[in-house]
Structure 1
Amino acid sequence: MAAAQEHPAELPECPSHAGGGLLPDELRAWMLLLAATGAVEQRLRSVVKGTLDVSHDEFLILCLLAEQPREGLRMTRIAALLGRPKTRLTYQIACLQHAGLVTRKAVCDDKRGIEVALTDKARGLLRDASATLAETVGQAFAHVIGPEQREALCALMPELAEDQH
């Protein structure tokens, strides 16, 4: 894993912000931001696999649950928040449960409802890996967020530009 961090794969270039294409400024800005976040996700995938031994999608589930109370979230809510089909989520939750990272239980007032929560093992792994993961995200963003992306953000959200002054 250390070697992967020392020599990260080259990240893809972002689309041009120069204009002249068919897209209005808002869509061009969105495409720049999408490319930047995609590049960050790409770099994070290998670090997540190396530190937590889970897939990126499973990692997103763990992160979502880490920000919730200990009782967890209903699977339908997780699917909605992550924009994932329930069938795919069921498989991912089963993998996480098999690894001892989440628990599943029926919701008391709804026979069909399933609530998912982090285990203490998952909380410990996330706590131990958080500095490495945060550093990876920070480095990746520093690598892909340049003047074009900042300009795109400010064009979409003028209040960001005002806060800079």
Structure 2
Amino acid sequence: MAENETGNESAPRWLSEPEQQAWYAWRRMFPLVNADIARDLTQDSGLSEADYDVLSVLGSTDGHRMRISALAVLMQWSRSRLSHQLTRMEQRGIVRREEVADDGRGAEVVLTEQGVTTIMTAAPLHVESVRRHLIDILTPEQLRTFAEVGELLRTRLGVERKTR
């Protein structure tokens, strides 16, 4: 355990005023931005965030397909969560599961024609919402900083999860 300013290892390391401001800003900003974008997504295209996440990943792959196990890792979802999500999406006809021809153990998820149409229709509306609620509010310098901080945290947290 690291020693704090008082020299007492068991005392909490309270946040300084600037640290507290940063933490509160994050806590207030993230749910507001996320909720506005999620609301727009649902209103504009009838998709949930989870739907859009799966569709956008598959839409950017060759053949609009990916092994289910690789998709779960990429999205940082449990296999169970992804399986339930895919079931809901299959019921709406926007994805389907297929066995991998040369590997009887593996399965892929594939966008259907309806799924391709859905993501192609939703993506422009979604990016406009992201612009309206986040990107266009920040200066180019703030965007660079935001991206750097986000990547640093993602990388650090990803490493910490692997070591747990």
Question: Which TM-score applies when normalising by structure 2?
Answer: 0.66
C-alpha RMSD over aligned residues: 3.5
Q: Contact 1:32/1:152 (CA < 8 Å) preserved in 2? A: no
More RCO (CA 8 Å, sep 6+): 1
Give the 3 Å change call, closer, same or farther, for CA 149–78 of structure 1 in structure 2: same
Pairs within 5 Å for 1:1-80: 19=18, 21=20, 38-80=31-73
Give the 3 Å change call, closer, same or farther, for CA 108–131 of structure 1 in structure 2: same
Amino acid at match of 1:132: L
Q: Contact 1:93/1:102 (CA < 8 Å) preserved in 2? A: yes
Counterpart CA distance in 1 for 2:27 and 2:73 is 20
Q: Per-residue deviation at 1:149?
A: 4.9
Give the 3 Å change call, closer, same or farther, for CA 20–107 of structure 1 in structure 2: closer
Give the 3 Å change call, closer, same or farther, for CA 52–147 of structure 1 in structure 2: closer
Give the 3 Å change call, closer, same or farther, for CA 49–72 of structure 1 in structure 2: same
Counterpart CA distance in 1 for 2:95 and 2:123 is 18
- Aligned residue for 1:70, secondary structure, equals helix
Counterpart CA distance in 1 for 2:149 and 2:125 is 31
Counterpart CA distance in 2 for 1:43 and 1:77 is 29
For this pair of structures, how many residues does the alignment match? 135
Q: Percent identity?
A: 21
Counterpart CA distance in 1 for 2:30 and 2:76 is 16
1:121 aligned residue: 114
Q: Contact 1:48/1:55 (CA < 8 Å) preserved in 2? A: yes
Q: Per-residue deviation at 1:122?
A: 1.5
Q: Contact 1:39/1:144 (CA < 8 Å) preserved in 2? A: no
**Which string of whole-angstrom CA distances, capped at 9 and with x for unpartnered residues, describes residues 103-143 of structure 1?**
11001222221101111112112222322211101001147
Q: Is there any run of 5+ residues in structure 1 with no aligned partner, and where? A: 1-17, 158-165
Counterpart CA distance in 1 for 2:67 and 2:29 is 31
Amino acid at match of 2:42: K
Q: Contact 1:103/1:117 (CA < 8 Å) preserved in 2? A: yes
Q: Per-residue deviation at 1:51?
A: 2.9
Give the 3 Å change call, closer, same or farther, for CA 156–135 of structure 1 in structure 2: closer
1:9 aligned residue: none
Amino acid at match of 1:56: E
Question: Which TM-score applies when normalising by structure 1?
Answer: 0.65
**Which string of whole-angstrom CA distances, capped at 9 and with x for unpartnered residues, describes residues 47-90 of structure 1?**
22223323211210111111111250011111101100000100
